[in-house]
Amino acid sequence: MKLVAGIDSSTQNCKVTVRDLDTGAAVREGKASHPSGTIIDPNRWWDALLTAVRRAGGLDDVIAVSVSGQQHTPIFLDETGEVVADSPQWNDTGSHPHMMALNAELGRDEWIRRTGLPLTLSDTAPKLRYMRDLHPEAVARTAAVAIVHDWLTWRLRGFGPGSGRAGLDELVTDRSEASGTGYWSPETDEYTMDLFEHALGRTAILPRVLGPLDRAGVTGAGIPGIPAGIPVGIGSGDNAAASLALGLQPGEAVLSLGTSGVVYARAARPVHDYAGYVCSYADATGDHLPLVATLNAARNFELATSLLGCTFDELSDLALAAAPGAGGLTLLPYFEGERTPDLPHARGSLHGASLANFTRENFARSVIEGTLASQVAMLDALHACDVPTNRLLLIGGAAQSPAVQAILGELVDIPVAVPAPDEYVTMGAAMQAAAAAEGAFPAWRVAVDELAAVPFEPQVGAQYEAAKTALGYVDVLAAPADGPATGAASVTAGSPAA
């Protein structure tokens, strides 16, 4: 049996899955937690990778390895390859004023025209400006900037601290990771260096962008649990890896409920959303992956279980015991601020509570309804950019919840399917490892459960929009209260709320 390894360095942890090259079946896996917080020492990510590899039984028997990971988060390196500062993660909201400054200086539409990104606080360019403004001494020492998966790939190849090999020119990346920076063009597949320098205030080395089937190199010597000389795949951003694993086809969309909520679809051409929400990322195959994201998703359910003193299964049972609309109880789940809509300083709020409706069942349902209403608004944003969808794939840690499945079906009018539980990001990375070893992506089958259609429930969307209106939130992503999310554009003209 030939084995390949896929690594997912996500926001919360690092996962390693070793798979059978012929079938894609998981043989063994390991996991290690990342530190909490949103400003992180990158070396903690490398340490977690090594721990996860050890817990997976090492990689001595694999023929190739590849890394995927959280997008956007920059790592700043000096001329010797040492990290010069802690990294502001994609979900750190401290870069919001710096994003606003970049948009004010060049015009928001200019960023969209040139990069396909409505610049958000999550993108790399605002993180560069954040560092320039708040940590100029670190920027003065910066010789190269990489994203998390770029840097981990580089470390696997034997470069970095203690190696005696600075090797900054050996940094490589893929289109998906480059497309999330805010200084890469989806039309030319090249960096827009003037935008990078405008954000950071100086030039620096950037990872070379390789093609979908390219090999990053081979593993270096002396890395615990990892043999030297095996092929290293090019890797990708996490959503691109999941899309590759799922075999996403044009006309299909994915809703991923993890730390963040993400909706994306496969497209042949880049998207330029001047309404300001759809990000024109690239995928891992050579196509494009228009994507919309929220900061708040599955952690909302963790909060609910903690407050109610119940398990996830019990939360689902409670929610399904309540009627659609939760008796008028409505949650706006902006606990960590929000990216879509652009409300970085907002906080979660509960609306319509009365002595009659404030029950455990209604509260459980309001948490799930409010979270999913945020995601459905993102699906509408894709439709408004002429990215039609005729099938929705639900993945992520919350996808197996019966309440999540049932309530999502009430909010959309396209078929919903749930792929079998798996680590799809590590699977996509493992497919890239296989390509590095064999020259082509493997054809691994993913089992999918098609959900039964359920009646559309318009009051859920109506309550969600009414709650936003009550707080004065200006949202151009408002889904029509009297109709479900469909293939037709439903986004009105306007700008995100500042």
- What is the length of the chain? 498
- In the block, tokens 């490892």 appear at 433
Query: How many CB atoms are closer than 10 A to CB 203?
Result: 12
- pLDDT class of 191 with cuts at 50, 70, 90: very high
Number of H helices, E strands in the chain: 15, 24
Give mean pLDDT, residues 257-273: 92
State percent of the chain over pLDDT 70: 94
- In the block, tokens 């936003």 appear at 468
Whether residue 47 lies in the annotated active site: no
For 419, residues 6+ apart whose C-beta sits below 8 A from its C-beta are 246, 393, 394, 395, 399, 446, 447, 448, 449
Give mean pLDDT, residues 422-434: 97
State percent of the chain over pLDDT 90: 87
Q: Tell me, what's the pLDDT at 475?
A: 54
Q: Tell me, what's the pLDDT at 477?
A: 46
- In the block, tokens 């942890």 appear at 13
- Provide the 3-class DSSP secondary structure of residue 98: helix
**Matching fold, domains 3-234 and 248-413+445-475:** yes
Give mean pLDDT, residues 307-317: 98
Backbone phi, then psi, for 496, in 5-degree steps? -60, 150
**Phi-psi domain of 252 (left: phi exceeds 0; alpha: psi -120 through 50; beta: other):** beta
Give mean pLDDT, residues 286-300: 94
Q: Tell me, what's the pLDDT at 488?
A: 31
State the alpha helices, DSSP H only, in 107-147.
Answer: 108-115, 124-134, 136-141
Q: Above 60 in pLDDT, residue 168?
A: yes
Among the listed residues 6, 71, 92, 82, the one whose alpha carbon sits nearest the alpha carbon of residue 43: 82
Among the options 8, 238, 273, 287, which is catalytic? 238
Taking only the tens place, the pLDDT of each residue in 74-125 is 999 999 999 999 999 998 989 999 999 999 999 999 999 999 999 988 899 9
Q: Above 90 in pLDDT, residue 279?
A: yes
User: Which of 134-143, 373-382, 423-432, 488-497 has the weakest average pLDDT?
Assistant: 488-497
User: Which of 187-196, 322-331, 340-349, 430-439 has the weakest average pLDDT?
Assistant: 340-349
CA–CA separation, 143 vs 19, rounded Å? 37
Taking only the tens place, the pLDDT of each residue in 474-486 is 654 444 444 444 4
Please tell me the CATH code under which domain 248-413+445-475 is placed: 3.30.420.40
Q: Which residues pair with 395 in a beta bridge?
A: 256
Homologous superfamily, domain 3-234: ATPase, nucleotide binding domain (3.30.420.40)
Does residue 53 contact residue 59 with C-beta atoms inside 8 Å?
yes
Among the listed residues 299, 283, 209, the one whose alpha carbon sits nearest the alpha carbon of residue 246: 283
Calculate the average pLDDT of the chain: 92
User: Which of 140-149, 160-169, 315-324, 347-356 has the weakest average pLDDT?
Assistant: 160-169
- pLDDT class of 454 with cuts at 50, 70, 90: very high
Q: Above 50 in pLDDT, residue 495?
A: no
Query: How many CB atoms are closer than 10 A to CB 109?
Result: 13
Q: Above 60 in pLDDT, residue 221?
A: yes
- Provide the 3-class DSSP secondary structure of residue 429: helix
Q: Tell me, what's the pLDDT at 91?
A: 86
Q: Above 90 in pLDDT, residue 162?
A: no
Per domain, the residue ranges of the chain are: 3-234, 248-413+445-475
Q: Tell me, what's the pLDDT at 344?
A: 81
